[in-house]
Structure formats: structure tokens, C-alpha cells
Chains A and B, each alone.
Chain A
Amino acid sequence: MAIDNETVKRVAFLSRLKVDDDKIDATKEEFNKILLWIEELNEINTDNVEPLISVNDVNLRVRDDEVTAGNCRKEILQNAPSAEYDYFAVPKVVE
């Protein structure tokens, strides 16, 4: 399943990454090399194989829905690139 330039651009946008126009061909070539290599998996028939999602065959635990580490707004906002009025600040979203 070789990919084309349009797919590179689409995947880049889905990833919220920019691939410069003059790098698209090279990126496509590189991707196709990797995907071709991955396609060796098709040598094995897996029609009746259950996918393995986690090696821990235990059910995930549930816990009470309660605050365990609250009251740390100040500490958390210290890492924000931009914060105003005790909130994270972003460019205008709603016109």
C-alpha cells in the first residue's frame, strides 16, 4: 500500500505537524520504505488470532471518583506558556 503526496499532507495535518513542500517527496519515499518493510507481516495468516492489547490479563481496577491531589492550580499554571486570570491562555477560538 504505497502512499502518495496527498496522504503525506493529510497525515501531517492529522498529526498537527508541518512538512515543507520541498520535503514531501522525501518523506513519502521514507514512509513507503518503512511501510513496505512492515508489510512482511502479511506473510502470516492471522485470521483466527485474537489481538493482544495488554499482556496483563487482569481486569483494570476501578476506583472511587474523588479528588486525590487537588488545590494545586498555582503549581500547574507555573508551567503554562501563557496564563491569565488563573486560566490557560490561547489565541481567540470563537469569532
Chain B
Amino acid sequence: MSDITKLTVHETLKALKNKEFSAVELTEAYIKNMENGRHYNAYITECADKAREQAKVADKNYQSGNIRLLEGIPLGIKDLFCTKDIRTTAASHILDNFVPPYESTVTQNLLNDGAVFLGKLNLDEFAMGGSNETSYFGPVINPWSKDKDLVPGGSSGGSATAVAANMCAASTGTDTGGSIREPAAFCGCTGIKPTYGRCSRYGIVAFASSLDQAGPIAKDVEDCALLLKSMAGFDEKDSTSCEIAVPDYVSSLTGDIKGLVVGMPKEYRPEGLNPEVASYWDKAAEYLRARGAIVKEISLPHTKYALATYYVLAPAEASSNLARYDGIRYGFRAQGNGNLDELYINTRTLGFGKEVKRRIMIGTYVLSAGYYDAYYLKAQKMRRLIHDDFMKAFKQCDIILTPTSPITAFPIGDESMLNNPINMYLNDVFTVSVNLAGLPALSLPIGLSSDGLPLGMQLIGKPFDEETIFKVAAKLEIDAKFERK
């Protein structure tokens, strides 16, 4: 075998079962890539020794035949998931010494299925950002960079980079407004944000609780299906977790899509849409049509208002969630405080980065007396309209096809993005509506732009119908013939 780290998870599982290599050899190969790839800055914390121990257990299980779903598969974990006895920072100074005494449900599910954890992956601070540049631990470099260092997208930038550069077999991400799908698109990976309530949020550092969902970033569609099967499921510890059985997603990958109705929302083709993005979108529709799907134009009339709605609701929820970081019970505490308010103010002012502080203040403002109705309540009403748009559209179609992002990866330190936060927020234009409506959506690579950078297509499904997404994505993947790194 030339390079075992280039295999997908499902190929790796087959090889492990056939004893082509051991779990320890596999983990060592990934540790080597992780160490050789430190210039990407994808990992905040490496756990090589722990991973070696886990791999030994996996090898024993392969010998005894007691083989679990992801036995011996080396994963990277976004550093937003609490991992017992492993530092969990949310890429923030305010948590940079936090070692959780408990495990998040999603990572516990993966451990129960035999996964090996290589380390904790870089992200935008508290998952607030679309480029991984707001991390306290510095930006992550997109493995597709050529002459200039490009961003991997965000917020799960480390998760996408580590998968693209074969520094883990697959990874976990979280998605509040596109944080799995955008970096997956920028790095040529496949990622799915499941339906809100599908994965437990217990033990995931909260950003905007009514929008946050966990999901996998992986090398292909089948890997996403495998990983999601393990990550998802009802959990008593999350009051928004849904008591709906998790289907065997891998078995939904087969079967044809004849007669399936695919919607293309006309509002996702604004004037000035990048012609390459538009042409790949049409090409994807053509692939599906050739396989017997019926492609039709649909309308999501309130699309234009999704971003502004999101940038009221997400900061509002964030300002409330991040009130807990006060320097008292865990995390960083500033020195030299006269009284309690000074302790809070100094700790939070030094502990949070610029974008996080901006969002806390915007969120505090829209929730404050006198402005609540004008901004927060207004945005909740707009959220209803955006949600209802999708429900109406799904009366006419089974699945929705759109580009994932209007652009490809851009250079680290891009002035127009850094000087005007709205320009950065606009990158989320095709992804945020899905979070507002709580729907499942997957991004997969469809091809390369003329300058050689990956472009992603997004498939949006009905609530709890990840299966149709996987089925269609599997076909698109075959037709797109995208070549991974």
C-alpha cells in the first residue's frame, strides 16, 4: 500500500478487516502527517500518545473479531467539543487552559464506536467567523493554496484542512451558519450539517443554541454517512435533541434518483453571481437530469433577508451564551481586579478576541430594553417567513440544489474582508437560511475553478431526510469525478 492516509474511511475499514495493515500502523501514519503538516496550523492540541493507546485497543478488537462501526479510525475533533481530560479551547484565550472533566455526547458516541482521536482542531474563536482567521491560535492554511496562503473557510477550518491534507481520516465540525459546509467547499471535502435536533449539542461549546448542529467533514459522501450514523441519536442531556431513530445512512447511498424532483431556487442566482459558480451549478443540475431526476426552478422569496436575520439572532444568542465566561469558575482570569465588575470586565476584555466582542455587543444591543422588538423579535418573525419558504418549496420538490458559497477560498488577511465585517458575512449567503430553517444540508466538491480551487455544491433536504441528500450526493459525486489532494 503506497499511502494509507489517502484512503477513505470505508476503504480503510475494509483494509483493517483484511489485515492489510494494523490500526497502530494506520494511526502512526496519520500522526506522521499531523506532525509534518504543522505549518497548516490545523491542530491546536495533538494527542498522539492517547491515539496510540486507542489504536492498540482497536487492534485487539480486530484480532478478537469484536469490531465496532469505526474501529481504529483516526479522527480529528473540532476544538469546540468537550473531550474529557483533553484541553478544549474553542480557539479562545478565555478557555486556553480549560480541561473538561466530561465528554460531549457526539465524541462519546464516536469513542463508543471505536474511533481514535488524534487531536483537537483549530477553528474561528467560538466558531464565529468564516475564514478561521479569528482563532486565538492563528489562522489555518488551506492545503489548496498555491503562491499565496489561502483561508480554509470557517469556522471548522482546521477540520476541513486536516481532512484535505490527510492529517486525519475524517473530522467533526459544527455548523451554525455554514461552518461545516463552507470550509468543506473551500478545501474540496464533503461535509453535512444534519437536521437540527439530530445530533446532541451536549458538551459542545455553545454559540447560538437554536442554530448549532454537529456534523462530519470527510473525504467522500459514504464517509459522511458512516460518521453521521455514529454521531447522531437522541440524547436526554440535550432538551432539543429529537427522539427519532437514526437510519442506516450508508444503505441510502444506493438506489436511483429517477423521478426525484430537484429544486433550484431562483433567488440563489443574483445578478453578478460568479459565472464559474453559476456554470457548475447548471452542470450539477445536468448530471442529475441525466440520471432521470426532474429539475425545476423554485422560489424562496425571503432569501435576501436571511443574512440580516441571522446576524441579529446569532449574536443575540451568543451574547447570552457567552455571559458564562466571567473568570470565576473556569478559564482565564485577568489579574489586578479591585472589585467583581472589574474582574468580569478585565477578564472578558482580555480574554475574548475582536470578532467575538463585536458579536457580544451587537447581541447585547438587540436584546436590550427598547430595541428588543425592533431587532430581535423582528428577526424571529423573519425567521418564520424564511422557514415557511422552505416548507412551501418542499411541497413542489424533494431536495434543493444550490452552490455552497458564492466564492472560492480567498487569501489570508484579505483587506476588504477584514476592514468590513459585512463583506465577510456575505460569504454565508447560501448557507445561513438552512440553519434558520433547521434543515439538513450537505456540501460536496463539484470541480475546480479556473485558478485551480475547489467549488462546492449544496444539497438541502426536508427535515430528518438526510437519506435523500446522501442518495443524491452519491450520484453527484460519481459524475463530478472530483480528484482529492
Contacts and interface: CB of A to CB of B under 8 A. Distances in A.
Contacts of B333: 81-82
Interface stretch (B96-104, B181-189, B443-451): B96-104
A41 B364 CA distance: 19
Contacts of B197: 55-56
Interface of A: 1, 3, 7, 11-18, 27, 30-31, 33-34, 37-38, 40-44, 46, 49-56, 58, 60-61, 63, 69, 72, 75-76, 78-82, 88, 90-93
A33 B319 CA distance: 19
Given A18-B345, A53-B380, A34 B311 contact: yes
Interface stretch (B27-35, B159-167, B215-223, B301-309): B301-309
A90 B305 CA distance: 45
Given A61-B239, A80-B329, A91-B340, A41 B99 contact: no
Given A50-B381, A51-B380, 5 more contacts: A34-B422, A51-B381, A55-B437, A79-B98, A81-B330
A7 B352 CA distance: 21
A14 B302 contact: no
B242 A56 contact: yes
Contacts, number: 150
Interface residues of B, number: 69
Contact of A31 (B97, B98, B319, B365): B365
B312 A38 contact: yes
B438 interface: yes
Contacts of A38: 308, 311-312, 375, 379
Nearest to B379: A41
A90 B210 contact: no
B99 A1 contact: no
B236 A63 contact: yes
In the A-B complex, the 6 residue pairs with the smallest Cβ-Cβ separation, listed nearest first, are A55-B438, A51-B380, A81-B333, A79-B330, A75-B101, A46-B381
Contacts of A30: 358, 421
B63 interface: no
Contact of B438 (A37, A51, A56): A56
B302 A44 contact: yes
A40 to B, nearest CB: 6
B196 A17 contact: no
A34 B384 contact: no
B210 A34 contact: no
A78 B311 contact: no
Q: Which of A7, A17, A91 has the most CB of B within 10 A?
A: A17
A51 to B, nearest CB: 3
A38 B242 CA distance: 32
Nearest to A74: B101
Contact of A44 (B349, B358, B385): B385
A49 B97 CA distance: 45
Nearest to A69: B102
21 contacts: A7-B365, A14-B364, A17-B360, A18-B345, A18-B346, A18-B349, A33-B422, A34-B311, A37-B308, A37-B422, A44-B305, A49-B381, A50-B381, A51-B377, A52-B381, A54-B210, A55-B210, A55-B463, A69-B102, A79-B329, A90-B328
